[in-house]
Amino acid sequence: MATKRKTGSPRTRLRPVLVVAVTTVMVNLAVWLIGLAANADYRVGMGGQAITITPVHVVLTTLVALALGGLAFTLTRRWGPAASRWLAVAGGTVGVLSASTPIMQAEAEPVTTVALATMHILTGAIWFVALWRANASEPAWTRW
What is the pLDDT, as a whole number, of residue 142?
46
pTM of the full structure: 0.81
Half-sphere exposure of 134 (CA within 13 A, CB side): 26
Query: What is the helix (H) or strand (E) element at residue 83, kind and residue range?
Result: helix 81-98
Per-residue pLDDT of the chain (144 residues; tens, 9 = 90+): 555 555 555 555 567 778 889 999 999 999 999 999 999 999 988 677 888 999 999 999 999 999 998 888 888 878 877 888 888 899 889 999 998 887 787 678 899 999 999 999 999 999 999 888 877 655 444 444
CA dist., res. 75 & res. 88, Å (int): 14
% of residues, the chain, pLDDT over 90: 40
Asked whether 97 and 128 are in contact (CB, 8 A), the reply is no
Distance of CA 77 to the CA centre of its chain: 18
Contact predicate 77/83, CB 8 Å = yes
